[in-house]
Amino acid sequence: MLKLEACTVYYRKALALDKIAMEVGGDELVSVIGANGAGKSTILKLIVGIVRPREGRVFFDGEMIQGMTPYKIVSKGIALCPEDGGLAPEMTVLENLEMGAYLRRDREKVKLSFEEVFHIFPVLRKRMYQLAGTLSGGERKMLALGRALVFEPRLLMLDEPSQGLAPLVKKEIILQVKQIKARKKLSCILVEQESTFGLKISQRCYVLANGRFVLSGNSEELLKDDSFRHAYMGID
């Protein structure tokens, strides 16, 4: 479904990504793990056109999409759930969800999408008319994910969904992402600094360091690899 071919990205003169190549298949959850500042979020921004590659190409469903505006790219069925959630704090939970459906014209089906989000995250129904800025950290993560789901994407990209969450809330987010992926049969890219989280939830994994992929493989196999666990997870 998604393919990056030797993509190089600079922020002015600073090299952010160096000849990045990756693929995401249909109905596949792929994680990208690496330290803070490795370039993980830049990959997602590259895909949706927020940043553009100096070299390389980006394909979605066989169509080259780099160079298109973010609006055009998103309209093809790609949703990004950013690290900070990207919520409008002065708007209610319901209004933020409505923002996620701004490209959809099937209003009756949009209502069903809202109901599905409220079924997945019951707390959001209770907070429907509450301002997003007053939500807890975990609730904001749920709302950001719910807003992305209301769009009915074919490719869902999650940037650090576990960051700053308490362990119990983190487990809840992991469970919900797994269930959403299984039920909706969508493709997903999960960007995570916490390698254990990324590996447990994904089918395949790319390891990013200093703007380059240094390793990739089956997530379950990497979790069992002692040398990988020691080098990239700090586990003996």
The neighbouring-strand residues paired with 157 are 80, 189
pLDDT digits (tens, 9 = 90+) for 126-137: 999 999 999 998
More confident residue, 98 or 234: 98
Q: What is the pLDDT of residue 168?
A: 79
Q: What is the pLDDT of residue 230?
A: 75
**Gap between the Cα atoms of 110 and 2, Å rounded:** 26
**Gap between the Cα atoms of 195 and 212, Å rounded:** 16
DSSP single-letter state for residue 128: T
Of the CA atoms within 13 Å of residue 208, those in its CB half-sphere come to 29
Domain ranges within the chain, ordered by starting residue: 1-77+154-236, 87-152
The neighbouring-strand residues paired with 159 are 191
Q: What is the pLDDT of residue 109?
A: 87
Is 235 a residue whose pLDDT tops 70? no
Tokens of 232: 């990239």
pLDDT digits (tens, 9 = 90+) for 68-84: 999 999 999 999 998 88
pLDDT digits (tens, 9 = 90+) for 151-208: 989 999 999 887 777 777 777 777 788 788 778 889 999 998 778 878 888 999 999 9
Note the pTM of the prediction, 2 decimals.
0.89
The neighbouring-strand residues paired with 22 are 4
Q: Which fold has domain 1-77+154-236?
A: Rossmann fold (3.40.50)
Is 55 a residue whose pLDDT tops 60? yes
121 phi, psi to nearest 5 deg: -120, 80
**Region 208-220 average pLDDT:** 92
